[in-house]
Amino acid sequence: MKFLKVLGEYIGGIEFSAGYRWQHWIRAISIFVLIATGFYLANPYITYGAPSPTPTRFLHAEFREWHIIFGFALIGAVLYKTIYFFFFPEAKYERASIKDAFNIKLLFQQIGYYLLISKHPKTTGVYNPLQFWAYTLAYVLFYGIIITGLALYAEVYHQGLGGALYPFAKSVESFLGGLAYVRLWHHILMWAIIIFVVVHVYMAVYNAVFGKNGGMDAIFSGMKWEKEEH
């Protein structure tokens, strides 16, 4: 194509594996479904005016069903990613970010980049320090919402998995001071995740626009490009 030409010396490679990308998008879709259904469960925004002549309506039950289905999808994605981070060989570039994360100079340089006063720092891992800590916080939020979610789940479904989790659910309930508080925390954590998602999407777009390194494409195709250093 006409607009394509040799552009300096770029090097490329797979930044995110297929499994990584799948879990990211499963998680992303789950989050949106969970928010929409969760708001309904909290305060049902669709209701009927008249009773049904036959008892065949299950609107709330269906919202709950989808909430639970995507809830477990989210749990799967988060667990996969956690195991991936700590144990998968291809996550070694992610694990390399831990060292960067404790480099205060690098952290300030990254903040400086967003304040438009310093250059983007060169990191050894795939995440910059600011990003690493933001994601760490995100995992605290995810595990918080998963734990409170499972506690609420076990209280409704007393058999099978719910039954197995029941003692755990009870300890969560005791820790937070009652089932009502479990519900309140679940709701608060959702808001924290909403805010995280908005900032996350902005940062991803920002880096794609100004980084010009396929940063956004990496989460779709896995490919990341960088200008070679000489």
CA distance 210 to 55: 57
Under rule CB under 8 A, residue 44 binds another protein: yes
Give the one residue of 2, 3, 4, 49 binding another protein; rule: CB under 8 A.
49
User: What's the closest the beta carbon of residue 53 comes to another protein, in angstroms?
Assistant: 12
Q: Which one, 12 or 44, has the nearer CB to another protein?
A: 44
Give the one residue of 16, 63, 135, 142 binding another protein; rule: CB under 8 A.
63
For another protein, what does the binding mask look like between residues 156 and 195, x meaning CB under 8 A?
--------------xx-xx--xxxxx-xx--xx--x--xx
Give the one residue of 61, 89, 228, 229 binding another protein; rule: CB under 8 A.
61
Q: Are 224 and 214 in contact (CB under 8 A)?
A: yes
Q: Which one, 56 or 87, has the nearer CB to another protein?
A: 56
DSSP-based three-state secondary structure for 122: coil
Kindly give the residue spans of alpha helices, DSSP state H, lying in the chain: 18-42, 59-87, 92-95, 97-101, 104-114, 129-156, 160-176, 179-211
Which long-range contacts does 211-215 make (Cβ < 8 Å, 24+ apart)?
Answer: 211/120, 214/12
β-bridge mates for residue 11, sequence order: 226
CA distance 198 to 192: 10
- Which helix (H) or strand (E) covers residue 224, if one does? strand 223-227
Under rule CB under 8 A, residue 85 binds another protein: no
Give the one residue of 1, 2, 47, 104 binding another protein; rule: CB under 8 A.
47
Give the one residue of 3, 4, 43, 53 binding another protein; rule: CB under 8 A.
43
Using only C-alpha atoms, the chain has a radius of gyration, in whole angstroms, of: 22
Under rule CB under 8 A, residue 57 binds another protein: yes
* Residue 128: how many other CB atoms lie within 10 Å: 23
Under rule CB under 8 A, residue 52 binds another protein: yes
CA distance 173 to 13: 47
For another protein, what does the binding mask look like between residues 3 and 32, x meaning CB under 8 A?
------------------------------
For another protein, what does the binding mask look like between residues 111 and 140, x meaning CB under 8 A?
--xx-xxxxx--------------------
Question: What are the tokens at 11?
Answer: 């090097």
Question: What are the tokens at 20?
Answer: 């990584």
Contact residues for another protein, defined by CB under 8 A = 42-44, 46-52, 55, 57-61, 63, 113-114, 116-120, 155, 170-171, 173-174, 177-181, 183-184, 187-188, 191, 194-195, 198-199, 202, 206, 210
